[in-house]
Amino acid sequence: MSSQAFVPDPLTIAEQWRTSGRGVAIATVIETWGSAPRPVGSHLVIDADGNFHGSVSGGCVEGAVIGEAVDVIASGTARTLEFGVADETAWKVGLSCGGRIRVYVERLG
């Protein structure tokens, strides 16, 4: 028997949060270039209070995505975010190794 704890899928968590009445957004890695911590298709689920589950990158990228997701929940307008070395915030968000990622953030329900 494995000693690893079961970690629920972010999409399952998103559905649970949504059906319990929480405002929910999902962030999905849609493109990567170079060194990227998470593959295309990775998900981060965020509620209107900034609670989250899953991962799209790590470090400060996720903090930035969570902030944007709270705005998406409030406005209902999806957006695509891009983080990378060419961006002046690359060092701040933890992509100083040459990677870039694009993340699509949308409200559910």
Query: pLDDT tens digit string along 29-72?
Result: 999 987 778 899 999 999 999 999 999 987 778 999 999 999 99
Instruction: Pick 22 or 60 by higher pLDDT.
Output: 22
As a whole number, mean pLDDT of residues 7-13 equals 90
pLDDT of res. 2? 54
Domain presence at residue 66: yes
Domain presence at residue 91: yes
Domain presence at residue 3: no
Global pTM reads: 0.83
Beta bridge partners of 5: none
pLDDT of res. 5? 75
Tell me which of 20-24, 83-87, 95-99 is least confident. 95-99
**56: phi > 0 → left, psi -120 to 50 → alpha, else beta; which?**
alpha
DSSP 8-state code for residue 48: T
Domain presence at residue 4: no
86-92 contact pairs (CB < 8 A, 24+): 89/64, 92/60
**52: phi > 0 → left, psi -120 to 50 → alpha, else beta; which?**
beta
Beta bridge partners of 24: 47, 108
Domain presence at residue 96: yes
Domain span holding position 60: 10-108
As a whole number, mean pLDDT of residues 18-32 equals 96
Domain presence at residue 1: no
The number of distinct structural domains making up the chain is 1
| Collapsed DSSP state (helix, strand, coil) of residue 24 | strand
